[in-house]
Structure 1
Amino acid sequence: MISIDVAPAAFASRPLFEPIAGLLARFKSAHLPDVDALNCLFDEVAPAASSGAGKRVRFVIPRDEEPAYEERIFATGEVPTRPDDWHDFFNAMAWCVWPRAKATCNALHLAQIAARREAELPGRGSCRDALTQFDECGIVVVSASPQIPALLVGHRWEDVFWERRAELQETTRFLVFGHGSWDQLRHPFFGLCAKAIYRSVDSDWLALSPDDQQAEADRWLAGHLHEQTAQNFSPRRLAPLPLLGIPDVTPDNAERGYYRDTRQFRPRRG
């Protein structure tokens, strides 16, 4: 097994890793767990999870000349997981904490593939592009403040991240879905951006335990993705969110002037 730079547990306390913090904390060795360890974890934390076709999910080492990625997961439940690969490790973590939403994404991919084949349409289509983007770099922003989502959608970055910083931290949770985003957050870089879906809740949701918040968000997101796909889901429905603007993700954002760099915090067009 190849040694890695830092153990997964090192990221457990970092902002935006909250959905998987408890899982990361288990892996204190400077090696990524192999597929057997990942499958044992999955059996423990998501015992009822399955692919879009209802097949039990298993993490497996990729084979040569295997079926297309989504088709394989759908038909067999096998999720190709490269050894010692952070990106695929975080995908396994996403399956652990977003099992319903991940299965929904898989089922929606296959429904879109079948529909386009029947209609003899070429290419992937905008719905599959949106599902893939969200799977890679998606984030669910859950807020009990009606103003916060509107300000974020409107690219009012300084207003929401600085002027309303305390309100943001009290009322809003940023739940990363995209395993690619977790991979990038190991070494955050200027301009790092996610694709956001916004959700308004009442204050009772914030009183739930973090585990209950995550489980409820997973159920909600699975239904929401179904609804979006029925309404011509496309990448344009995913709002860009500069992750380094979220309080404490980088020490640089402890100054107001940080939010005035329009290379990263771009005003909304039109």
Structure 2
Amino acid sequence: MADDRHSDALAPFRAIDWTRPWLAPLESRGRRWQAAALDGHARYLAQLNDDASKAALVTGRGQPLAFIAQEDLPADASYEAHIAQTGSVPTRHNLHDFFNALMWFEFPRTKAALNARQADQIDALGIGPTRGGVRDALTLFDENAVLFACAEASLADALRRFDWRALFIDGRASWGAQCEARIFGHALLEKLVAPYKACTGHAWIVDVPADYFLADEPTRRAMLDERVSRSLDAAPIRSRAFAPLPVLGVPGWWAANASPAFYDDTSVFRPGRRLHRQC
């Protein structure tokens, strides 16, 4: 029975399909971590900390990044404040925290900026029964954001207006040449281990120059990380700053979306703000 429970606990890690297009940027490190996670929590944490030490990453207030077991978080400590103050990220043996840790390596400046903003809010307002608008928006970003890198204003406008035809059908050839989507939210990545059509992220639009799309993968990722982290530092963040993006609508991410009829499902691809503007 104990072996069966152990096998069930590891099943989500085994279910990760690295051939999914949205996981391609994470595959190299992700496969190593997946193997470590399948060996057990202690082996997994050791792998994360070995990589963190080599990468010399820091958290929101400049503390060296490290990973600890969730049970090592003091009972009276706030998760975000503890990370900012100590550098140690409480980490459970599950997919949610697996993808959270991966994002610390993929977008370290953005994760540090989010952590700093969260800790600042806690310092100012304390921990109450609700987070408040700013902390809610920061959490939404951390959990469910999709970074929409875009060099063509009309595509960003189509996303904001819920104009799915302009974005996904008429603008299909622009994907990879003038715009792209990258999953940042770790809760969204967890959901996408078992993808479903209505799975929707909160897009954060990032203006990039046209030559962004000529750069290699590490250069694009570093550029996004720098721009997003600066945007989080520079201005107040509110939930309305995001644009809903049904992620399986991204061209090349789901075989069924090769047919324009895929986007006719208004329960997923809702008219939203586009109709509102016309009224």
TM-score normalised according to structure 1 size: 0.89
Partner letter of residue 178 of structure 2? T
Q: Report the counterpart of residue 106 of structure 1 in structure 2.
A: 115
The whole-number CA distance in structure 2 between the counterparts of 1:169 and 1:179 is 23
Give the secondary structure class of the aligned counterpart of 2:27. Answer: helix
User: How far did 1:153 drift?
Assistant: 1.1
Number of residue-to-residue matches in the alignment: 262
TM-score normalised according to structure 2 size: 0.86
State yes or no: 1:69 paired with 2:79. yes
State yes or no: 1:237 paired with 2:237. no
Q: Which protein has the bigger helix share? A: 2
User: How far did 1:54 drift?
Assistant: 1.3
The whole-number CA distance in structure 2 between the counterparts of 1:130 and 1:24 is 27
Give the secondary structure class of the aligned counterpart of 1:34. Answer: helix
Is 1:9–1:25's contact at 8 Å kept on the other side of the alignment? no
User: How far did 1:190 drift?
Assistant: 2.9
The whole-number CA distance in structure 2 between the counterparts of 1:52 and 1:5 is 33
Is 1:10–1:25's contact at 8 Å kept on the other side of the alignment? no
Q: Report the counterpart of residue 61 of structure 2 in structure 1.
A: 53
In the alignment, structure 2 segments of 5+ residues that lack a partner are none
Is 2:144–2:201's contact at 8 Å kept on the other side of the alignment? yes
The whole-number CA distance in structure 2 between the counterparts of 1:241 and 1:198 is 11
User: How far did 1:228 drift?
Assistant: 2.6
CA-to-aligned-CA distance 1:134-178 (integer Å, 9 cap, x gap):
000111111222221111111111221122211223221212211
State yes or no: 1:35 paired with 2:41. no
1:189-208 matched pairs, under 5 angstroms: 189-208=196-215
Give the secondary structure class of the aligned counterpart of 2:272. Answer: coil
Distance 1:42 1:225, change over 3 A: same
The whole-number CA distance in structure 1 between the counterparts of 2:91 and 2:32 is 19
User: How far did 1:42 drift?
Assistant: 2.4
1:72-151 matched pairs, under 5 angstroms: 72-83=82-93, 85-117=94-126, 123-151=130-158
Q: Report the counterpart of residue 157 of structure 1 in structure 2.
A: 164
Deviates more, 1:186-195 or 1:2-11: 2-11
The whole-number CA distance in structure 1 between the counterparts of 2:260 and 2:217 is 30
Give the secondary structure class of the aligned counterpart of 1:16. Answer: helix
Deviates more, 1:53-62 or 1:3-12: 3-12
In the alignment, structure 1 segments of 5+ residues that lack a partner are none
Distance 1:10 1:62, change over 3 A: closer
RMSD (CA atoms): 2.3
Q: Report the counterpart of residue 183 of structure 1 in structure 2.
A: 190
The whole-number CA distance in structure 2 between the counterparts of 1:26 and 1:171 is 32
Distance 1:28 1:115, change over 3 A: closer
